[in-house]
Each structure stands twice: as structure tokens, then as C-alpha cells.
Amino acid sequence: MWNIIDMILIGLAIACVISQIAQNVTADVVINKVIQNPNKFYNLSLLVSWENLNWSLVGFLIFFFNIRILRLLKFSKRLSLFVDVLHRLSRDAFNFGFFFMIIFMSFTQAFYLILNTRVFAYNTVIRSAENLFKMLLGIIFL
């Protein structure tokens, strides 16, 4: 019987493979363009975006795989208690994450609309989200 963790693991594994293939194809295209015209400037931000997406997907895959492994290790009393707490927490954590993403994306859109022409760090929605998340974590950037 498939449960939600197994379906998330399969989906993330497929997304990781697709992301890696897309990253490799994009890198090959960019490298061929650079070889054809080495004196021209090429913006490599697309490659960096694919790299970030790929590592984020791998991170989520590892996280959910660890949760799956914890469910398999229920024979230990302490791990069984920890897994039970995670299981009871999962619905509330999902609801919190969903609500948090709605609020966070609202702030991201607000900062993007207000500052996109004035501050370079907020000129795209993705950069706005990255900078707001850095502020949320307390990372100081100059």
C-alpha cells in the first residue's frame, strides 16, 4: 500500500532526474554557444538557477527519505516515540507550511512590486523571495 511519503519520494526522485537532465542539456547548449563565439558575454544565471533547483530537490528528497527510514526503525523504543510524535505532528506541520507559504509569497509579491525598480536585490520575484528568506533566517547580506 502506497502512503503519502512513498508518493512524495517517487515524485521527488523523478523531479531530480528531470532537473538534472534539463541542467545538463542547458549546460551543453551554453557551452556550445561559448565555443562558437568566445568573445561574447553570456549570462549564466540560468545555469545557476538549474543548479539551485537541483540541489533543493535533492535536499527535499533526502529529508523525506530520512523520514521514511525513521518509520522503518520503529523497533527502538526511543525512535518509535519520535516517529509517533512526527506522525501526530504531520497534519499540523503541513497546514502551517501551507499557510506560511501563502503569507510568505504575499510578502514576496509586495516587496517585489514596491522595490523592483529601485533595489537590484528585488528586481525579480525569485530574488525577492531569496532575500526575504535570508532576512527571515537572519543572514546579513551587503
Q: Is the dihedral of CA 33, 35, 38, 41 positive or negative?
A: positive
CA-to-CA distance for 134 and 15, rounded, in angstroms?
25
CA-to-CA distance for 10 and 124, rounded, in angstroms?
31
CA-to-CA distance for 114 and 123, rounded, in angstroms?
10
Q: Which ranges of 1-142 does DSSP label H, i.e. alpha helix?
A: 4-36, 45-72, 77-115, 125-137
Write down the pLDDT at residue 141. 64
Given a cut of 90, is residue 105 above it in pLDDT? yes
Cell of 11: 515524485
Confidence (pTM): 0.54
CA-to-CA distance for 121 and 127, rounded, in angstroms?
6
Cell of 73: 526503525
Q: How many CB atoms lie within 10 A of CB 74?
A: 13
- Name the residue type at position 25: V
pLDDT tens digits along 9-44: 888 889 889 989 988 998 899 889 889 988 888 888
